[in-house]
Structure 1
Amino acid sequence: MALTVTESRPHSLFSFGTLMDERVQTALFGHAVPSSAASLTGYTTRPLPITDQSVIDASGLDVHLTLEREYGAVVEGAVLRLSDEDLAAADAYEVDDYARRRVLLSSGETAWAYLDAKPLRSAERIVIVGDSIAYGRCDPRGGWAAHLAATHIARNEAAHRVFNLAIPGSTLTGVSEQTPALLAARLPDTLLVAAGINDSALPLATSQAPRDGLAHLADNLGSLAATALSHNARLVVAGPAWLDEARTGDYGGLRFTRARALDLRESIQAWCAENYVDFLDMWEPLRDSAELFVDGLHPTAEGHQALYRHLEALSR
């Protein structure tokens, strides 16, 4: 079932810090807001220094709290019931280190919460789904996903895990259908979807029915968002990489073009912005670097290294 982004009023916002203070509420919203006790499992808190003077003035504190993942932990807080205007004021109050995302509370209610703006920095258990590029094809070292796994696990050998479940040839339709059965055993807190370049492919034969992967993009991403939320995992979508169209050739009767890949990139980015989902733009690292491709579509080992370095900078 696709995630429904139409929201009831008032909005539900899980707060674990200064927004629970009635003095801060009065300063931001002009009044105290209705609230009730709530908790969020799978998270803990860590201190975050604040440099924005207006936020310090409103809260009276120069250190706030931010959430990070910890399996088995619980953060106690409250659900605030906010109007559209209140939610906009809360967004303006939170500094750029935070991003408003959906979470699943211990009660089973979904709510907004302000999470670390860099989505992999606070992650513990990451599941990767996607296609042959996420799988690491053409790189004997396992591609950008293997580099990510090595770095992530090295930061905390006891708690950090990365599960690469990418399958060559996958489309977002296939990924959205297969992923729900894969998550429970892996206890993910982050679902990293490497948005499939296969969704942009066109048939070479004019007699073939045209592929419409882009037409179903919103439904497939919505389904993945709902799947992630049902596990209280954060959805992160990595967009397509640049490709060398002059060398993409014929892949089993399919043709990959830069124009369609750009359409895919822009459509995913727009959907993520509209639905408050993290988008990691992977286009630039390989732009105009044909030497970093084996066949125009699949990066070399050095190309995967460039993708990893870019991903690490975006998400840490």
Structure 2
Amino acid sequence: MSESRPHTLFSFGTLRDERVQTALFGRAVPSSDASLSGYTTRPLAITDPEVIATSGLDVHLTLRRRIGAEVAGAVLRLTDEELAAADAYEVDDYVRRRVVLTSGESAWAYLDADPLRSAARVVIAGDSIAYGRCDPQGGWAAHLAAAHIAADEAQHRVFNLAIPGSTMRDVSEQLPALLGPRLPDTVLVAAGVNDSARPLDPAAATGDALADVTGHLDRLAAAAHRHNARLVVIGPAWIDETRTGDYEGLCFTLERVAALRERVRAWCGERFVDFLDLWEPLRGRPELLVDGLHPGPEGHKEIAVHLGR
């Protein structure tokens, strides 16, 4: 029988209340004062009657990013079972993600379930689709940037560092050195179709990039965590295999793109990383793709709407 592992959870709200702790965990859990830099709070209306009954409040707090701000709270020391109870207590507006406390300690915290709503400074990395190829207006990333900056022109920034042709290996090797000067709080990595490509000539194959994707994501997650930035992985979009053709000796198939999507989704689920799926807005709609692979202007608009921007 395995022993329960200790977990550190940063709380800035009702979980610090001993009455709430006793109701959830059956005891007041060990805790110590802590703070989280680069965040502020905003109120969140609660409608779940069980959560309201436990906390005694119908308005809780949620975190949002802001340079120079700091949120005071406490670190709770929890067992596996207690962490699961805390997960069950939090409403769907929250998700558990890793943060770096002001002390430098890594801890769990409950963040806004919408990673873009709570972001301030966003870095985008990826391939030609994230870059905006085939859309003179800059693609879905430009739509996202316009809406994000318009929401708070003084505080919000978006840096699109996507490069056409990039694989996840390219991104994991190049992006870490570019994060520091941009002070990101959110890193969007588009896990694009290039990692699913196979040479038309089997003799030209030197390995399977698809098999290496999760290792590259591990390195990107570590780089984002060093900057206390929230990693958000954007899955590949649906393709029209009948029109993808020959891309400089490479071929793209729906089977391998779907396999990439599931591999990335599973990695995100196992590591409590946000996954945004681009599959559905284009699925079965070949008219939104210029060449079977790259969305046109209307396809990029559909993606932006799907992302809520």
Amino acid in the other structure paired with 1:196: G
Residue 264 (structure 1) aligns with:
260
Map Cα deviations across residues 63-118 of structure 1 (whole Å, 9 max, x no partner).
11000011110000000000000000000000000000000111111000000001
Map Cα deviations across residues 188-235 of structure 1 (whole Å, 9 max, x no partner).
000000112100001101211254111112111111111111000000
1:78 aligns with 2:74: yes
Gaps of 5+ in 2: none
Amino acid in the other structure paired with 1:194: A
Residue 46 (structure 2) aligns with:
50
Q: Distance in 2 between matches of 1:50 and 1:290?
A: 41
Q: Which of residues 241, 248, 251 is equivalent to 2:244?
A: 248
Q: Distance in 2 between matches of 1:291 and 1:17?
A: 48
1:113 aligns with 2:109: yes
Q: Distance in 1 between matches of 2:206 and 2:191?
A: 20
Amino acid in the other structure paired with 2:286: A
Map Cα deviations across residues 111-138 of structure 1 (whole Å, 9 max, x no partner).
0000000110110000000000000001
Q: Is the 8 A contact 1:40 1:75 kept in 2?
A: yes
Compute the TM-score of the two structures, normalised by the length of structure 1: 0.95
Amino acid in the other structure paired with 1:218: T
Provide the secondary structure at the position in 2 that maps to 1:207.
helix
User: CA offset at residue 311 of structure 1?
Assistant: 1.1
Q: What pairs with 1:193-272 in structure 2 (closer than 5 Å)?
A: 193-272=189-268
Q: Distance in 2 between matches of 1:130 and 1:74?
A: 31
Provide the secondary structure at the position in 1 that maps to 2:308.
helix
Q: Is the 8 A contact 1:202 1:211 kept in 2?
A: no
Q: Which of residues 171, 183, 186 is equivalent to 2:182?
A: 186
User: CA offset at residue 61 of structure 1?
Assistant: 0.7
- Identical pairs, percent: 72
Q: What pairs with 1:1-316 in structure 2 (closer than 5 Å)?
A: 9-312=5-308
CA distance 1:245–1:211, shift in 2 (3 Å): farther
Q: Is the 8 A contact 1:171 1:199 kept in 2?
A: yes
User: CA offset at residue 9 of structure 1?
Assistant: 2.6
Compute the TM-score of the two structures, normalised by the length of structure 2: 0.98
Query: How many residues were matched structurally?
Result: 306
Q: Distance in 1 between matches of 2:75 and 2:209?
A: 38
Q: Is the 8 A contact 2:21 2:27 kept in 1?
A: yes
Amino acid in the other structure paired with 2:170: G
Q: Distance in 1 between matches of 2:123 and 2:222?
A: 15
Q: Distance in 1 between matches of 2:43 and 2:14?
A: 12
Q: Is the 8 A contact 1:203 1:210 kept in 2?
A: no
RMSD: 1.0
Provide the secondary structure at the position in 1 that maps to 2:261.
helix
Gaps of 5+ in 1: 1-7
